[in-house]
Amino acid sequence: MSWEVDSEELTNFSSSKTWNAVRNRGPTRNWTQNIWFKGHVPKHAFTIWIAHQDRLPTRSRLSSWGMNVSPLCCLCAVYEESRDHLLLRCEVSESVWELVLQRLGYNPFGFHTWTAFSDWLSMRDKVTSRTLKRLVAQATISSIWTERNKRLHEGEARTPQGIFRIIDRFIRDTILGKIKRKEFMSLMQQWLRRE
């Protein structure tokens, strides 16, 4: 008995080839590699995936749906809480990004648009590895979103330095947990060299 999948005759059944043949698959987007890279942290990858599609339930989005909520940012309470403002341009977020970028070895700069942020994640450079850059960026986005939710739902607030300490601890733990993977072997040294 033989199996045929996409006009290829197989001697044994292959569930992966069958699944790929029967599922609807959209075109691969160029930004997916920034999210689903080898070694990503699923919780953080999911958050940044939702953010990349601009589907996070920010206050401006909730307000546009007719919900009776203030559209102002939970972190600064000055500007409307959109994805780009909350995660990239808010004074709290900018302070966190400044600490993160300094640790990675970049001169601090601000991301003014999500496109600029996504382009930076894709860019190869000599400052740090893309794996570390992507890992840290995902942890930063997730930590800022978590801080927003803590302030909104629990009334707790951390300083940008406190948020950075959580990111730092998480990055260290993640690298140690994956240290045997080839792409993670030098990451701890890269992360700590500007401590």
Q: How long a stretch of residues is the chain?
A: 195
| pLDDT attached to residue 2 | 66
Does a structural domain hold residue 5? no
Q: Which domain holds residue 187?
A: 30-192
Q: Is residue 38 part of a domain?
A: yes
pLDDT by residue (tens digit) across 64-81? 999 999 999 999 999 999
HSE-up (13 A, CA, CB side) for residue 145: 23
DSSP code of 55?
-
6 occurs within a structural domain = no
How many other CB atoms are found less than 10 A from the CB of residue 126?
A: 6
Residues (pLDDT < 50) of the chain are none
Asked if residue 4 is part of any domain, the answer here is: no
Give the model confidence (pLDDT) of 159-179 as tens digits.
Answer: 999 999 999 999 999 999 998
Q: Does 11 reside within a domain? A: no
Task: Report which of 24, 140, 153, 49 is spatially closest to residue 88, judged by C-alpha positions.
Answer: 140
pTM higher than 0.85, yes or no?
yes
The number of folded domains in the chain is: 1
